C-alpha cells in the first residue's frame, strides 16, 4: 500500500523494511517461477526424446503390408507444395506492394510455411506410427512398458545388432539371400510383450495375493525368467552374427579401398609430375632469356664517361687555340698508348655529342673537334678491320 509513496519509507523505517521484504519475496517468486518453467520445458523435451527413441526401436511384422504407407506417401509432397506456396505469395505481394514490402512478407510467409510443413510432417509420421502399432505391424518399446528392465535392455541390444547387420555392405549386396532377420526380431519383440503382460499381472496380483496364488505367481516368474534367458541367447547370437557380417563387409570393401587409395596415389603422382614439368619448362624459358640478354658491364659505363670527359677537355683546348692560345696538336688522341678498341665507337659518339653540347658558343672549335673525332673513328675502324 506504500509502494506509490517513497517518502513513507524515509519517515517510517519499519515500512521501508516491509517494502524491501516484499520486493525480495516478489523477486524470489519470479525466479522460482522461471526455474519451474525451465524445468517443465526440459521435462517435456526429455519425454519427447524418450518417446522418439521408443518409436525408433521397433520390430516390423514381415507378414503384413505397411498400413501407414497411405499416410507417409504424402511426406515427399510437402516440400514442393511449400515451395509453390512461398513463390505464389512472393509474386503476389511483390506485385501488390512493391519489392520492399513484398520481400518482407515473402520472408515471413517462408518462415510460416516452413514451420507449418515441419509440424505437418511430424503429425503425419506420428499418425502413421500410431496406426502401425494399432494394426500390429510395428512393435516398439512402448508396447512392453511393464516388462522387466533386463528384457528392455536386451531388446535394445537386439535392435542394435539387427540394424548393424542391415546396414552392412554384405547384407545390402544381397550376399545373405532371404535373411529372416526381421522375423527373428519380431518374434523376440512378441516375447517381450508376453513378459510385459505377465509382469503386469504379477504386479496387480501381489497386493491381494493369497496362499493359493503363490504357485501361479511362481509359474509366472518362471515364464519371465525363461523369456529373459531366451532373449539373452537371441541377443548374443545376433551380436556374433553382426560381428561376422561386419567383418565380411570390411573384407568386401577392402579391394575397393585399396583401389581408391591406389587411384589417389596415382593422381597425386601425376599431379606432382605435371607440376615438375611446368616448373622445368618455366625454368628453361627463364634460362634461355637470361642467356639471350647481354648484361650491361660497369666498364662500359666507365669508358663512356671517360670518353665524354676527354672530349670535353679537347674541345676546351681547341676553343682556346682559336682565340690565340698555343695548344698542342690534337693528333695525340690517335697516337695515345690506349688501344682504340677499348674506347669503341659508342664512346666516341658520346664524346662527340657531349663536346657539341659543351661548346655551343664556339662553332669553330666544334667543327675542328668533329673533324678530329671523325678521323679517329675512321682510323679505329680500319684497325679493327
Q: What is the pTM of this model?
A: 0.54
Pick the closest to residue 199 from 139, 152, 252, 160 (CA basis).
152
Condensed to tens digits (0 to 9), the pLDDT of residues 54-101 reads: 666 788 888 888 888 888 888 888 889 988 988 898 888 888 888 888
**Residue 6 pLDDT level (bands cut at 50, 70, 90):** very low
Condensed to tens digits (0 to 9), the pLDDT of residues 259-292 reads: 888 889 999 999 999 999 999 888 888 887 766 6
What is the mean predicted confidence (pLDDT) over 190-206? Answer: 92
d(CA 365, CA 85): 100
Specify the pLDDT at position 63.
Answer: 86
**Residue 253 pLDDT level (bands cut at 50, 70, 90):** confident
What is the mean predicted confidence (pLDDT) over 117-142? Answer: 88
Reply yes or no on whether the pLDDT at 359 is more than 60.
no
Reply yes or no on whether the pLDDT at 37 is more than 60.
yes
Specify the pLDDT at position 307.
Answer: 73
Highest mean pLDDT among 145-149, 208-212, 253-257, 323-327: 145-149
Reply yes or no on whether the pLDDT at 50 is more than 70.
no
Specify the pLDDT at position 328.
Answer: 45
3-state DSSP of the chain: CCCCCCHHHHHCHHHHHHHHHHHHHHHHHHHHHHHHHHHHHHHHHHHHHHHHHHHHCEEECCCCCCCCHHHHCCHHHHHHHHHHHHHHHHHHHHHHHHHHHHHHHHHHHHHHHHHHHHHHHHHHHHHHHHHHHHHCCEEEHHHHCCCCHHHHHHHHHHHHHHHHHHCCHHHHCCCCCCCCHHHHHHHHHHHHHHHHHHHHHHHHHHHHCCHHHHHHHHHHHHHHHHHHHHHHHHHHHHHHHHHHHHHHHHHHHHHHHHHHHHHHHHHHHHHHHHHHHHHHHHHHHHHHHHHHCCCCCHHHHHHHHHHHHHHHHHHHHHHHHHCCCCCCCHHHHCCCCCCHHHHHHHHHHHHHHHHHHHCCCCHHHHHHHHHHHHHHHHHHHHHHC
> Worst-scoring range by mean pLDDT, 30-39, 56-65, 340-349?
340-349
Reply yes or no on whether the pLDDT at 204 is more than 60.
yes
Specify the pLDDT at position 54.
Answer: 66
Specify the pLDDT at position 47.
Answer: 67
Name the burial class of residue 316, with classes exposed (0-12), middle (13-18) and buried (19+) by CB atoms within 10 angstroms of its CB: middle
Query: Which residues lie across from 350 on neighbouring strands?
Result: none
Pick the closest to residue 148 from 229, 209, 76 (CA basis).
229
Percentage of the chain lying above the pLDDT 90 cut = 24
What is the mean predicted confidence (pLDDT) over 104-121? Answer: 90
Reply yes or no on whether the pLDDT at 199 is more than 90.
yes
Specify the pLDDT at position 239.
Answer: 93
Q: Which of 284 and 307 is assigned the larger pLDDT?
A: 284
Reply yes or no on whether the pLDDT at 321 is more than 80.
no
Residue 294 C-alpha cell reads as 647481354
Question: How many CB atoms are located within 10 Å of the residue 132 CB?
Answer: 24
Specify the pLDDT at position 207.
Answer: 86
Amino acid at each position: 500500500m506504500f509502494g506509490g509513496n517513497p517518502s513513507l519509507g524515509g519517515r517510517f523505517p519499519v515500512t521501508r523494511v516491509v517494502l524491501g521484504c516484499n520486493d525480495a519475496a516478489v523477486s524470489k517468486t519470479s525466479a522460482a517461477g522461471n526455474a519451474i518453467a525451465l524445468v517443465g520445458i526440459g521435462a517435456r523435451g526429455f519425454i519427447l526424446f524418450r518417446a522418439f527413441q521408443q518409436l525408433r526401436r521397433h520390430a516390423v511384422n514381415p507378414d503384413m503390408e505397411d498400413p501407414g504407407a497411405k499416410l507417409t506417401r504424402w511426406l515427399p509432397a510437402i516440400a514442393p507444395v511449400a515451395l509453390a506456396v512461398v513463390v505464389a505469395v512472393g509474386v503476389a505481394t511483390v506485385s501488390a506492394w512493391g519489392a520492399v514490402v513484398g520481400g518482407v512478407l515473402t520472408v515471413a510467409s517462408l518462415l510460416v510455411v516452413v514451420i507449418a510443413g515441419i509440424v505437418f510432417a511430424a503429425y503425419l509420421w506420428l499418425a502413421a506410427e500410431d496406426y502401425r502399432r494399432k494394426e500390429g505391424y510395428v512393435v516398439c518399446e512402448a508396447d512392453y512398458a511393464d516388462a522387466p528392465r533386463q528384457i528392455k535392455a536386451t531388446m535394445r541390444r537386439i535392435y542394435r545388432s539387427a540394424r548393424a547387420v542391415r546396414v552392412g555392405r554384405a547384407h545390402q549386396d544381397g550376399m545373405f539371400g532371404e535373411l529372416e532377420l526381421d522375423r527373428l526380431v519380431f518374434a523376440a519383440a512378441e516375447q517381450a510383450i508376453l513378459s510385459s503382460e505377465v509382469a503386469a499381472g504379477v504386479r496387480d496380483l501381489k497386493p491381494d495375493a493369497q496362499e493359493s496364488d503363490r504357485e501361479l505367481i511362481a509359474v509366472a516368474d518362471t515364464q519371465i525368467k525363461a523369456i529373459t534367458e531366451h532373449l539373452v541367447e537371441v541377443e548374443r547370437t545376433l551380436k556374433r552374427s553382426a560381428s561376422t557380417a561386419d567383418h565380411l563387409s570390411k573384407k568386401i570393401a577392402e579391394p575397393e579401398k585399396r583401389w581408391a587409395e591406389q587411384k589417389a596415389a596415382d593422381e597425386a603422382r601425376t599431379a606432382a609430375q605435371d607440376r615438375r614439368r611446368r616448373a622445368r619448362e618455366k625454368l628453361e624459358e627463364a634460362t634461355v632469356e637470361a642467356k639471350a640478354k647481354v648484361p650491361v658491364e660497369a666498364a662500359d659505363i666507365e669508358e663512356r664517361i671517360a670518353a665524354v670527359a676527354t672530349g670535353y677537355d679537347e674541345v676546351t683546348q681547341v676553343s682556346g687555340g682559336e682565340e690565340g692560345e698555343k695548344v698542342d696538336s690534337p693528333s695525340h688522341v690517335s697516337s695515345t698508348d690506349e688501344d682504340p678498341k677499348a674506347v669503341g665507337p659508342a664512346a666516341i659518339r658520346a664524346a662527340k655529342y657531349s663536346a657539341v653540347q659543351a661548346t655551343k658558343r664556339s662553332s669553330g672549335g666544334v667543327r675542328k673537334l668533329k673533324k678530329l673525332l671523325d678521323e679517329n673513328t675512321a682510323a679505329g675502324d680500319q684497325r679493327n678491320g
